[in-house]
Structure formats: structure tokens, C-alpha cells
Structure 1
Amino acid sequence: MSTFNWVFNLFLILFIANLHSIKCTQSFSSDPYNQQQLDKVLKLPGQNFSVNFSHYAGYVTVNKESGRALFYWFFEADEDPSSKPLVLWLNGGPGCSSIAFGLAEEIGPFHVEKDGKTLYLNPYSWNKVANILFLDSPVGVGFSYSNTSTDLLSNGDKRTAAENLEFLLRWFERFPQYRGRDLYITGESYAGHYVPQLSQAIVRHNRKSGEQIVNLKGFMVGNALTDDFHDHLGLFQFMWSVGMISDQTFKQLNIVCDFQSFIHASEHCERMLEIADEEIGDIDMYSIFTPPCTGNFNKFNRPWRRTRKFGLLRKAYDPCTEQHSKVYFNLPEVQDALHVRSKNSPLKWETCSDTVNENWKDSPRSVLNVYRELLHSGLRIWIFSGDTDAVIPVTSTRYSIDALKLPTVSPWRAWYDDGQVGGWTQEYEGLSFVTVRGAGHEVALHKPKQALTLIKSYLAGDSMPTLQLVSDS
């Protein structure tokens, strides 16, 4: 090969490599406004309709040394976003994606059709009343990633709270128009840990800095993992009361699983849970009165099975919504539209990460101490519960609230939606509790209209609606 040809080939290789570098870095900007525009989602594959609101998706680096970056998807309110509060939504697991569940199944404006390729508008999206920010947290969940592979083996509650706070601080730098906006944090299931822990981190950060850097106004959690003892006690009582397990199994569960964690159950407790499995049969524990999605279902469907979301559309209920999302968010054209860094994120997008779940490092047995601290901070705190969930059932949540020993402000009563009982509610000093009748673990999946009524009341600071009598005239 001649010297000229050798030099020319080397130049060509370097030129191609440089083009690749430009392609990989073209979505980065040191200017926050420019980066915000680079994150803007113009149109999604399968979106055969137009919308009036803007939405953005991308990454925020929360640890430069390890290269940890969290993926977000933000939807502005569909009307007058400048006047609406900001709501952050978190899903739990630990290890489950807020894009998969909160956004694509529950409160987001876009849901996925059965073909896994087409979107439709959710008429009960929460962006009708707020600007909604969905976050995949921690790294290893959804499209969130780390350049240090061992980070996926060292996630836990403490680091998640710290990095969720770091995410918010950095996100407000990218979206300065939302800095100072009223912020509410919401979520479900294992987010029963994430949400109050992040709220605590924000309150402490503001106090330490001497200013309201993050304008947190309150938080709300649904079917939330709260306290191991009460969660167990309420779960076994719920399963027995609706006829899912025998008297003998109920008694033994209360004896051998007393004060234990679902994550670290004893051998004796595990054996009794296996017996309970057999008695319960093949039903959807997340929604006991609706049909399960057919297929390999049973082994992923118990709250004590760690390989599944733990406490985890006006159309007919579809039990297979999760499967539709798996198809859609693995489409390369969808990931391109969402600015996913395919080089860094997992090769295959999963609704829940077994790696994150099975290597979780710290999970306190109770977050009631966090509630006790925050009850005096002036935050608006609500807890809601779908009453057909057998993962974190309404009985568990009631036991945990009772343990706080709060004075009652407004006694137990029914609340209404369009003249029908939507559920029941009780207001305590510093906390409100709301049940949603007929809803499972993912309340807005089963009862989307009632869930929108819930968030409207919460954001307005109003009690849940009473029955409005209609005159005959």
C-alpha cells in the first residue's frame, strides 16, 4: 500500500469516527434552554393525532464520576401550563419504570394500543390539571443508566432519595420556567418508600440551604409499601376476609411471618406463603376481581415474589397493558423519538429490572418515622388505596395510618363521582386517606375517571366530593 493510500485511509477512518462522535453528542448542549429544546419530542411513532401541549424526554446526569443518568419524560398541562403546578410521578418495584406504568398505563396522556405500535389519547390524563414529570429511577430502571456497571448492583433507598433530589435540582436548571413552581410528588407501591423519602430529603435540603430551593407543597402515595409489620398483618387479613385462604393458613401466616419483611422472609414463612399460593390459585393479586393477562402469569403475581413489580382510556379493561408497552418502547424508532441513548441504556427495555430488584441494598422496615417528621412540616399529605388490591391492600394501609395515632378532623364517609360512590375517605390532622372503590393496585388503570377526581381534589386542597342532590324540577 502506498503512503498516500495509507494516509488517505487513516483520514477516512478518523473522519467517519468523528461523524459518529457528532451523531452521539448532537443532543447535548451546555445552554439549559438549548438542551430543553433538544429534549423536545416532536412526534411519536403511532401517534395519529395532534396535541395542544409540549412534551420533552431526555436525561439528567446525577453523578458525573460514575456516569449515572436518569431518564425523564415531561408533559406540560394541555391548557395554560404556566398557571398549573408541577407533579412528579414515581413508580416503585424497586426496579419498575414510571414510563411503563404511571405514564403508559395510568395517568399519562398517551397509552399504547393492543398492537404495541399505536398510541391513543387518555381522556383522564393528569396533565389536564397539572404539568406531569415522569422519572425512571434509580439507574438500571427503564432507560436510566450508569456508565459504571456495578452501580446496578448497589441501588438502595438512601442513594435513590439522594439522586432523585439531585435530579430535581438539575432538572430545574434545564427548565428554569418551572423553578419555584408548586411541586407535588406522587407515586404508588414501593414508591411508598421513594415519595416520602424524597420529600424528607427536599425539606432537609431547603432547611440546610436556608431557602425554598424546591417549592415542595405536598406528596400523595397510593397502595403504598409503608410498614412491614402492618403490611403483613393487613395483607393476611385481607386475603382471609375475601375468602382467598383457609382459616388454618391465615392463623399460621400470622404466627410464622410475624414482623418479617417480604424481602427477607424466614424459611418457615416462605413455606406458608407457598401454601397460600396454592390456595389462592391463578388470579391477579394486583386486582383480584378482574381477569389476569394469560400466559406465564402465576409466578410473577404474588407480593412476596421479588421478580415482579411490588407494589406494582375510556376503553374496556385490558389486563395485558404491560405487554403492549414492552413492544412499543422496544421499537428503535420510538427510542429515537424519545432521545434514548441506546449506547448507554439497556439493550432491551423492560418494565421492571430483575437486576435492580434482586440487588437492592437498603430498605427500612418502616417509613412511619418519615411521616412523623413530615407531618409537622406543613406539607399536604394524602394516602389513597384501591380496595381490590391484594398486594398492599386497604387493610394494610389503614393499620399503618392508625399507627400514627392522628386526631380525626373529618370522620369516615363516602365520596361521590357522578352521583355514584367513588370510595370512602377520612381526614386526620395533617393527613387525608381516600379509598377508590373497585380499583386495584394501579388505581388509575382500573378507575381512571375517579383517579382524575382524586388528583383534582388533592391539588385544590379540597375534601373529596360529597353527593350533589339533583332537583326534580
Structure 2
Amino acid sequence: MATDKVFLCLVLVCVFLRFELIGAAPEGALITELPGFEGTFPSQHYSGYITIDESHGKKLFYYFVVSERNASNDPVVLWLNGGPGCSSFDGFVYEHGPFNFEAGSTPTSLPKLHLNPYSWSKVSNIIYLDSPAGVGLSYSRNKTDYRTGDLKTASDTHTFLLKWFEQYPEFLSNPFFIAGESYAGVYVPTLASEVVKGMKKGSKPILNFKGYMVGNGVCDNEFDGNALVPFAHGMGLISDEFYEEAKNACNGSYWNSATAICEEKLEKIDKAIADLNIYNILEPCYHSPEAADEAAGNIRLPYSFRKLGETEKPLAVRKRMFGRAWPLRAPIRDGYVPTWPQLMDSGNVPCTDDEVATSWLNNEEVRKAIHAEEVSVVTWELCTGKIEYFHDAGSMIKYHKSLTAGGYRSLIFSGDHDMCIPFTGTEAWTKSLGYEIVDEWRPWTFNEQVAGYIQGYDKNLTFLTIKGSGHTVPEYKPQEALAFYSRWLEGETI
């Protein structure tokens, strides 16, 4: 009996210590209030900077939302938006963050914040990170750091993670996942590879990395680049004649067209789809007043490039640029990757209204509340033209093969009405890995309705579509997104 009492006391002490540790995060990072929100946070929020390079003053900004369910045991998820050059506050404000944002009553008034019933913090601890330096609220005192690429971004983000977990050691034992969308189809697997390498080398602290998820992400220039034309035809956006003409003229290869007749046929297709919301063909295209003057200057989807010293830059600027995922026919062509402001020569993202996030994150009281630098130091933009970015990691297929072969779980999901990174290309490259199908193509359901389709492969690889959704799945289908997210994190059948 005495032994049992001692054991019970030890258990209670461990539980108490674990509970206390959840409050052991840096005191100066705790967020106590947010302008625009009235009420009590359902969990603790932290934010601030992690210095990646002291000599350069390179700092990455994060916003950390503790799980509303069971912070001690729920997974820690790092969330990355894409671009390249786009802030992860896109996910925080418009997708799966803890709040829904309502525009203020006047153009100058702050947005109102309401609790989001479908926040991913319902089932996980989640870190929103602005990466690389120069994006969102992240910055460097040395502007040479704004010339970067896939490999440097992965290395810097790995450094961020090691330093972040040093400051939040109470979460080291939690399962850790990396997630993102769009150009984060590059960020996520390259970072995951860095994490795995660090674990093998014994880099401290040792992360409890379990897997990753990518939504509507770029992967491979051939698979992604050849997906647009068949997708547009399958969705009824171009005629049979347009499709057959292009297929025959281009020999089925649209991403790297080399003949004048192929270009001519692709021009017709570009013109037919130019006025659609490429992120979700079911949704209207938002037109800001500033963007109206840009609409007349269409340039076709492919770009000409010229050498400027060691840097390739676009010769022609496309006036109708679709934004967050650099949707050229080959979305991850090797070399210089122009961000959307560089392509568009404008501060607006066509079809996308970012006014609420811009007004909130550039408010000085908000900056103080979230421990960010003043606007005079760094101005927040949804997507920035400050960085000079290079795709130097090649196709992501080799990364996916290595990670899944290593036993790490992978969820690849696609909104099936996204024309920016069409699901058809993603379905094709997941199939190309050659893994055995262990869960044959079938519908998955939410609230007794078909929510999309799923195919499961050997080595814990899952491909999933979300019916009626666009490029940013949680923005268009928040309930369904929380459903598959929570099921997958728990290891349950979707």
C-alpha cells in the first residue's frame, strides 16, 4: 500500500511538472491582448523573433498558438506559406488561425477578431513562421541576406527550429510535423530533409519529427507544368478543339514548348482562362482599385529571360499575375524565381483581397502586442518583392522518395478547383513514386457528405483531394480541412 502511494505521488508530481512546463516558454514572448479582439484567448499565444545570424542581424518572426485541447501531448506543427516571398500570416489570418477577421467599419479602423471554430489550434500546437528573411515581419540588417534560395532557406529554417525548441523545451517530446502550401511544396520537403539530416548527426536539441503535409504544392516542373492544359479541358474551360490542337502541336508537353505552333495554341488557351480566379475557378476574382489599371496589359504565361550578370530576371512583366504560387507553366523552373510583385510591377495580388491583414499587421499597437518591430523597420506585405529568390533544389520527387522511404508520414492534399497547381499534376507525381496502393481511390466524407477523394500508398504516403476547394484549402473549406488535418495527425483513417 505504501509503495502504491509513493508511485501515485510520483505520477502526480510528473503531471504537475509537465503542466507547469507548458507555461515555461519565454515570458517576454507571451501575448496578453490583441487589438481588435475582446474576450479570453482559448489557449496561450506567443510571438517574437529568433535570431538566425547575430553578425547580420538576421531575424525570423514567428507566432505560436498553443493547442486548445492538450498542449502537453498534441503535435507541434510548423506552418509555412509559399510564394516564394509570401507571409505565413496568410495562413494565420485567412485560413486556419485562431481568429476570423472582420473588416473594420471604416477604411482606417482596425479589423475585429472573432474566435475561429475551425482553427487548427483546436487539435495541435502550431507555429506560423515568416521565412525567409525579408518576408512578412522577418528581416535582416544586412540586405545581402535577401538574395537567397531553396537550400539556404531550408538551412535557416532548420536553425530557427533548433533555437525555437531551445526556448520552448517543454514541447520537445511532442510529435513534430512540418506543413505548408503552394511554393511551400519546396519549403516543406527541403526543410524536412534538413531536419532528418540534423537528427542523424545528433544536432541538439533532437526533434521528434514524424512527418509532413503539403497542400496544392509545387513539386516538379514536368508534372506540374503539364497539368494546366488537361485540367482546363477537364473542367470545361477550353473546348475539345483547343485541347486537341494544343496536345498535337505540343506533343503533350506544355511546360517547355519549343515550337511556334505550340506557342500559338497555348496563347489561345491563355486568353480563354485569363480572367478566371486561378486560385479557385469557382470563385469571383477580386479587383482592387489599384489593380484596375493593370488589367489591360496581358502577357502570355511563359516568360522570356535575359542574363543580368549572374542573375536571370524576367524580360517581360506580366500585368495579370495570379500571385501566391508563381504559376508559370513550369512553376519551379530552375534558377531565378520572380516573386509576384517583380512579375507584376505592382503591390496588388489580382483576385486576392489582403486589405484586412495589411491594415491589422501594419498597426503600431498590433506590432507592440505581438512583439514585432515597428513599421519603420519592416512593413508587412502579403507577398514581397524585396527578396531575390533562386530555385536551386531541383525536383522535389527525390526528397519525397527519401523521406517516405525513411518512414516519415506524408499527406499530399489538393483543392480540386485550383488551376494554379492543378490536382492532376500532383496526383500524377505521387503515382510516379511507384509505391503500392494500399487504400484504393475512394471518397472520404465529412458530415455524411463526400468531401473529396483519397488514395493511400505504401510507406505512409497519402494523396487527398478536397471537393470544390481552391489553392488555399482551409480558406475555402475550413470544416473539411480541420477534419482531415485532425484525423491525419491522429493517425486515423480519413
> Does structure 1 residue 328 correspond to structure 2 residue 317?
no
Give deviations 1:85-142, integer Å, cap 9, x for gaps.
101111110000001x211111111232122521121110010001011100000100
Structure 2 contact 341–385 (Cα < 8 Å) conserved? no
Whole-Å separation in 2 of the counterparts to 1:144 and 1:267: 43
1:228: Cα distance to partner?
0.7
Partner of 2:386: 355
1:67: Cα distance to partner?
1.5
Query: CA 1:248–1:232 in 2, change beyond 3 Å: closer, same or farther?
Result: farther
> Does structure 1 residue 446 correspond to structure 2 residue 440?
no
Query: CA 1:197–1:109 in 2, change beyond 3 Å: closer, same or farther?
Result: same
Structure 1 contact 75–133 (Cα < 8 Å) conserved? yes
The amino acid of 2:398's aligned partner reads: N
Give deviations 1:381-422, integer Å, cap 9, x for gaps.
110110010001110101111211111001010111010001
Task: Identify the match of residue 106 of structure 1 among 92, 95, 106.
Answer: 95
The amino acid of 1:74's aligned partner reads: F
Whole-Å separation in 2 of the counterparts to 1:203 and 1:377: 9
Query: CA 1:394–1:343 in 2, change beyond 3 Å: closer, same or farther?
Result: closer
Task: Identify the match of residue 182 of structure 1 among 153, 157, 175.
Answer: 175
Task: Identify the match of residue 342 of structure 1 among 367, 371, 374.
Answer: 374
The amino acid of 1:76's aligned partner reads: V
Q: Which stretch has the larger CA shift, 76-85 or 158-167?
A: 76-85
Whole-Å separation in 2 of the counterparts to 1:441 and 1:199: 22
Structure 2 contact 149–389 (Cα < 8 Å) conserved? yes
Query: CA 1:429–1:35 in 2, change beyond 3 Å: closer, same or farther?
Result: closer
Structure 2 contact 246–266 (Cα < 8 Å) conserved? no
Partner of 1:11: none
Whole-Å separation in 1 of the counterparts to 2:112 and 2:168: 30
Partner of 1:462: 492
The amino acid of 2:488's aligned partner reads: Y
Partner of 1:43: 33
Identity of aligned residues (%): 37
Partner of 1:400: 429
The amino acid of 2:135's aligned partner reads: V
Instruction: Give RMSD over aligned pairs.
Output: 2.6
Query: CA 1:267–1:36 in 2, change beyond 3 Å: closer, same or farther?
Result: farther
Query: CA 1:166–1:234 in 2, change beyond 3 Å: closer, same or farther?
Result: same
Partner of 1:170: 163
Structure 2 contact 87–136 (Cα < 8 Å) conserved? yes
Query: CA 1:51–1:193 in 2, change beyond 3 Å: closer, same or farther?
Result: same
Partner of 1:308: 340
Structure 2 contact 442–455 (Cα < 8 Å) conserved? yes
Structure 2 contact 453–466 (Cα < 8 Å) conserved? yes
Structure 2 contact 136–381 (Cα < 8 Å) conserved? yes
Give deviations 1:150-196, integer Å, cap 9, x for gaps.
211x1100000001100000001111111232101111011011111
Whole-Å separation in 2 of the counterparts to 1:249 and 1:96: 34
Whole-Å separation in 2 of the counterparts to 1:453 and 1:247: 37
Q: Which stretch has the larger CA shift, 104-113 or 67-76?
A: 104-113
Query: CA 1:320–1:246 in 2, change beyond 3 Å: closer, same or farther?
Result: same
Q: Which stretch has the larger CA shift, 445-454 or 45-54?
A: 45-54
Whole-Å separation in 2 of the counterparts to 1:102 and 1:267: 40
1:200-211 equivalent positions in 2, closer than 5 A: 200-209=193-202
Q: Which stretch has the larger CA shift, 320-329 or 282-291?
A: 320-329
Q: Which stretch has the larger CA shift, 270-279 or 215-224?
A: 270-279
Q: What is the TM-score when the length of structure 1 is the normalising length?
A: 0.82
1:274: Cα distance to partner?
5.2
The amino acid of 1:110's aligned partner reads: F
Structure 2 contact 68–122 (Cα < 8 Å) conserved? yes
Task: Identify the match of residue 69 of structure 1 among 45, 53, 59.
Answer: 59
Whole-Å separation in 1 of the counterparts to 2:204 and 2:368: 39
1:147-162 equivalent positions in 2, closer than 5 A: 147-152=141-146, 154-162=147-155
Partner of 1:380: 409
Q: Which stretch has the larger CA shift, 179-188 or 69-78?
A: 179-188
Unaligned residue ranges in structure 1 (runs of 5+): 1-32, 311-318, 465-473
More helix per residue: 1
Task: Identify the match of residue 79 of structure 1 among 55, 65, 69.
Answer: 69
Q: Secondary structure at the match of 1:57?
A: strand
